[in-house]
Chains A and B, each alone.
Chain A
Amino acid sequence: MKKLKYEKPIINKIKAGVPDKYGMQPKIVVKSEIDGIPVKEIVEKYGSPVFVISEKTLRDTFQQANRAFQSRYPKVQFAWSYKTNYLDAVCRLYHEEGSWAEVVSGFEYDKALSNGVPGNKIIFNGPDKTDEDLKKAIENGSFIHIDHFDELYSLIRISQNSKEKAKVAIRVNMDTGIYPKWDRFGFNYENGEAWKAINRIMLAENLELVGLHTHIGTYMMTATAYAVAASKLAELAVRTNKKFKHTIKYIDMGGGFASKNTLKGAYLPGKDTCPTFDDYAEAITSAIINSEIAPDQLPTLFLETGRALIDDAGYLIGSVLANKRLSNARRAKILDIGVNILFTSFWYEHEVYPAEETSQQTEDTTLYGPLCMNIDIIRESIQFPALKKGDLVVIPRIGAYNMTQWMQFITYRPNVVLIDQNKKMHLIRKQENLKVFKEQEVIPDFLLNKTPLKD
């Protein structure tokens, strides 16, 4: 007799409560391939877990964002936010698309130069720039975004001995009607600090005020905050022009556009609630065009959006290490994906999909990472099908911040693979190994050649 196909026995308690008007997804979504390549094949070649970047999605998303702004405003320039994902291959794709580099440290600055970005196409942001960094940026003609008065005075001092004028902008923080109000970056607009900084720069001989910058927040779920910010920067540009007869060349709206991930605690999924590129573009460009800036003096609009450009292009593939029941009989799974490599699981309810169809039956499940740490939770609660040890899972939308904020903790960071537009796989960052870490460590002489625990 031919044996029948088996499905794991499942019992779920029916819970009465307030009905959810949005209902549940009727069918379990399976993510069996990425850009036409089977997930199984990727893991066979590069192991599990493994990060995957889709060149196609990356370029499509960039072009979509670029189109949203270019079709509304005459002068637009994107600058790739290095901290969001500074793998060289990723940065080079954005530079190929025409993005400049936006960096926030000497390390990122050098990385941008090593990727062939000319110094005069680098925007240098961030509160931490050493005197050496500033000197290098002045020599290279980079745009230095001043964060505080100490930096402003350092620049005045350094630029006095420099042949080149330093091209600078100030970072402005302000009330845009959102909570929490970000006031830690740059000079405040409402209390007059920003205006004071502008005045001081205009009096400095070797500083040229080329732009105004703001970074109003992150994961902004309303586009109108950008309209408020753009209006305030435009007002500063007009005031500068009136007093000093000086034209501001660019307005930089920073980053912070939301991706389609769902924040923890959100009622509706991010993909249904987050503004589109068109929403952001409409708010920002209308505010600048409708400001009092003369039409022949319209500044270039710089954008440093990172998350919304790269998140969708990144996937993390992992596998089930074990199934277990918690003390209350709740189902739990241990994955080989932990918070050490999926840092964003602290903020998001990441979607997690099986890589092949097993069963349409689901259980309320907690997904843990492999670390021997209580905080290592990928999802507290997710309706998930019964997968067995070794089965693969795919977490989409993880391109932003994970490949920069990941930690070498307990285990090594895994391979990162790029799938190009011809469906070819390329290893773009190698899995670490013991040698990588040993190379950074130095054992003092007095501990060398001793084996205290040997018989």
Chain B
Amino acid sequence: MKLKSNIAISENGFMFDPYTGDSYNLNSTGVEIIKHLKAGKTNEEILAELKRKYDADDLILEQNLYDFITMLSHYELLDNE
């Protein structure tokens, strides 16, 4: 899954989609995942990164990451190539 190009995000979590004109609020973990996606990382790479960095159960990190990706897909922020 790749994030659509041109999607703009600020450090404090304000995100703008120029294709639809919609804007979004994200928390810091959300911002971090978006940055990884922008950098072209795969879901597995992002999960590994989260596991390395955060003090949380591995399965919870996995569950939350895929839930977040589902939301990105629902908001049509991903390129379905």
| A binding-site residues for B, Cβ under 8 Å | 3-14, 323, 325, 328-329, 359, 361, 388
Report if B29 contacts A (CB, 8 A).
yes
Q: B68 to A9, Cβ gap below 8 A?
A: yes
Contact status A9-B74, CB under 8 Å:
no
A contact residues around B55 at 8 Å (CB) = 3-6
- Assess the B53–A11 pair: CB atoms within 8 A: no
Sample of 8 more A-B contacts, CB < 8 Å, known A10-B29, A10-B68: A6-B56, A7-B29, A8-B27, A8-B29, A9-B26, A12-B24, A325-B70, A329-B74
The answer to whether B22 touches A13 (Cβ under 8 A) is yes
| Contact (Cβ within 8 A) B71 A8 | no
- B54 CB, min distance to chain A CBs, angstroms: 4
Q: Give the docked Cα–Cα distance between A399 and B72 (Å).
A: 42
Closest to B53 in A: A4
Q: CA A91 – CA B39 in complex, angstroms?
A: 66
B24 touches A14 (CB 8 A): yes
Query: Could you show 27 A-B contacts with beta carbons less than 8 Å apart?
Result: A3-B53, A4-B53, A4-B54, A4-B55, A5-B54, A5-B55, A6-B54, A6-B55, A7-B28, A8-B64, A9-B29, A9-B33, A10-B26, A10-B27, A11-B25, A11-B68, A11-B71, A12-B24, A12-B26, A13-B22, A13-B24, A14-B23, A323-B67, A325-B70, A329-B70, A329-B71, A361-B27
Selected from B32, B56, B75, the residue in CB contact (under 8 A) with A11 is B75
Give the CA-CA distance A4 to B33 in the complex, in Å. Answer: 15
- Contact of B40 with A by CB under 8 A: no
Measured CB to CB, the residues of B under 8 A from A are: 15, 22-30, 32-33, 53-56, 60-61, 64-65, 67-68, 70-72, 74-75
In the complex, A393 Cα to B59 Cα: how many Å?
23
- Chain B residues near A361 (CB-CB < 8 A): 27
Q: Residues of B contacting A10 with CB < 8 Å?
A: 26-27, 29-30, 68
* CA of A13 to CA of B24, assembled, Å: 4
The winner among A5, A7, A10, A361 for most chain B CB atoms within 10 A is: A10
Contacts of B75 in A (CB 8 A): 11, 13, 329
**Cβ-closest chain B residue relative to A363:** B71
Q: Given A6-B54, A11-B30, A14-B25, do A325 and B67 touch, yes or no (CB 8 Å)? A: yes
Lowest 4 CB-CB distances: which A-B pairs, in order? Answer: A329-B74, A3-B55, A6-B56, A6-B54
In chain B, what residue has the closest Cβ to A2? B55
CB distance from B77 to the nearest CB of A (A): 8
A330's nearest neighbour on chain B, judged by CB, is B74
- Minimum CB–CB distance for A324 against chain B, Å: 9
Which of chain B's residues has its CB closest to A388's CB? B60
Identify the closest chain B residue to A7 (Cβ): B29
Q: Determine the residue in chain A with the shortest Cβ distance to B54.
A: A6
Bound: A5/B24 CA distance, A: 24
Q: Would you call B61 and A6 a contact (CB within 8 A)?
A: yes
Inter-chain contacts of A6 with B (CB < 8 A): 29, 54-56, 61
Measured between beta carbons, the chain B residues less than 8 angstroms from A4 are 53-55
Q: Which listed residue (A5, A11, A328, A359) contacts B72, Cβ 8 A?
A: A11
| Complex: chain B residue closest to A325, CB-CB | B70
Tell me the bound Cα distance from A361 to B53 in angstroms.
20
B26 contacts A11, C-beta separation under 8 Å: yes
Q: Which residue of B lies closest to A327 (CB)?
A: B74
- Known contacts: A4-B53, A329-B71. The answer to whether A9 contacts B25 by CB under 8 A is no
CA distance A375 to B70 in the complex (A): 27
* CB proximity of B10 to chain A, nearest CB, Å: 13
Query: Which A residues are CB-close (under 8 A) to B30?
Result: 9-11
Complex: chain B residue closest to A329, CB-CB = B74
Known contacts A6-B29, A325-B70; is-contact A11 B54 (Cβ 8 Å): no
Residues of A within 8 A of B27 (CB): 7-10, 359, 361
Measured between C-beta atoms, what is the minimum distance from A43 to chain B in Å?
A: 21
B residues less than 8 Å from A388 (CB atoms): 60
Do B25 and A12 touch across chains, with their CB atoms under 8 A apart? yes
Q: In the complex, what distance in Å separates the CA atom of A12 from the CA atom of B22?
A: 11
Tell me, in angstroms, the Cα distance from A4 to B49 when the chains sit together: 12
Assembled-state Cα–Cα distance A124/B34 (Å): 67
Q: Which residues of A contact B72 (CB under 8 A)?
A: 11
List chain B residues, Cβ under 8 A from A325: 67, 70-71
Q: How far is the CB of A80 from chain B (nearest CB, A)?
A: 48
